[in-house]
Amino acid sequence: MQAYEDIFNQRGRSYHLAMEKYPDAREEEFHAAVKRLNQATKSTIVDLPAGGGYLQQYLSEEINYLAYDFSGEFNDNHSNIKKCKESKVDIDDESIDEVVSLAALHHIVARKDFYSEMYRILKDGGRLIIADAIAGSRIDEFLNGFLDQWNSMGHRGRFIKEEDLNEIREAGFNVKMKTEKYHWNFDSKASAMDFFRLLFCLDLNPLDQEIMIAFKKLGVVEASGFSVKWELGFLTCEK
């Protein structure tokens, strides 16, 4: 399995371009994460790995937002995002209220060390919110199937299984999981295809017909605009 840093040192700019061109495409996904946060006045929330800091626009302005990422490629125009290691973040013990880790766990290699580090920086009662694909789901099939086929780096993510919940518990957390189903939304089919090509760096250039086959396996809605069905497992881990 390739590490997050290795992947996004090469794919980070394409990913960020997708998020810049279509900033609202994943709005429902970010809201699914944010609704799990307390967002108490002046609380401190860590976004890790933050990518280009996309979560921040969905948080209250009163939140103390801290962004960290394992890759340097998201730092070009985001001086507020600090680079860190999976097992070491430059944050004091028990100083953070909540941590959000969105759609990245499947590329974290040192998972037990990551969970332990999150436990270290969280206050008593603090929470780690993790969202990622569930093993055996249609998102797993898309990422480790279609994406693996059409990205020159391949894609072999390790998705959420019961053993992950056990490892989180071993780190000291109480953990609950719920699957959230929602949509990635676009104004047109062409915009959706462009977004997927950029976000997933489909540099082996699948035909539009190939992408449409993948879309239909995920599920689409063509009422007003064009939406692709998506889903992740959301883990709420409380210290």
pLDDT single digits (tens) 111-144:
999 999 999 999 999 999 999 999 999 999 999 9
In a domain, 202, yes or no: no
pLDDT above 90 for 11: no
Query: What does the alpha-carbon distance between residue 71 and residue 78 come to, in Å, rounded to a whole number?
Result: 12
pLDDT above 60 for 66: yes
In a domain, 145, yes or no: no
Q: Which amino acid is located at 26 in the chain?
A: R
In 3D space, the residue among 70, 73, 96 whose CA is nearest the CA of residue 83 turns out to be: 70
**By residue range, what is the domain housing residue 26?**
4-140+153-184+230-238
Average pLDDT over residues 138-161: 95
Give every CB contact of residue 58 below 8 A, 6+ residues apart in sequence. Answer: 27, 30, 31, 33, 34
- Omega prior to 49 cis, within 30 of 0: yes
Domain CATH for 134:
3.40.50.150
Which residues, in sequence order, are bridge partners of residue 85?
A: 88
pLDDT above 90 for 224: no
Which band of pLDDT confidence, cut at 50, 70 and 90, is reported for residue 178?
A: very high
Average pLDDT over residues 43-59: 94
Instruction: Please state, as a whole number, how many other Cβ atoms lie within 10 Å of the Cβ of residue 125.
Output: 9
pLDDT value of residue 223: 85
In a domain, 96, yes or no: yes
In a domain, 218, yes or no: no
In a domain, 81, yes or no: yes
**Which tens digits make up the pLDDT trace of 89-105?**
999 999 999 999 999 99
Query: How confident is the prediction for the chain on average, in pLDDT?
Result: 92
pLDDT above 90 for 70: no
In a domain, 66, yes or no: yes
Average pLDDT over residues 3-24: 80
Burial of 15-46, coded b for 16+ CB within 10 Å and e otherwise, reads bbbbbeebeebbebbbebbbebbebeeebbbb
Q: How many domains does the chain have?
A: 1
In a domain, 221, yes or no: no
pLDDT above 80 for 150: yes
pLDDT value of residue 9: 65
Which segment of 56-60, 76-80, 180-184, 196-200 scores lowest on mean pLDDT? 76-80
In a domain, 33, yes or no: yes
pLDDT value of residue 76: 55
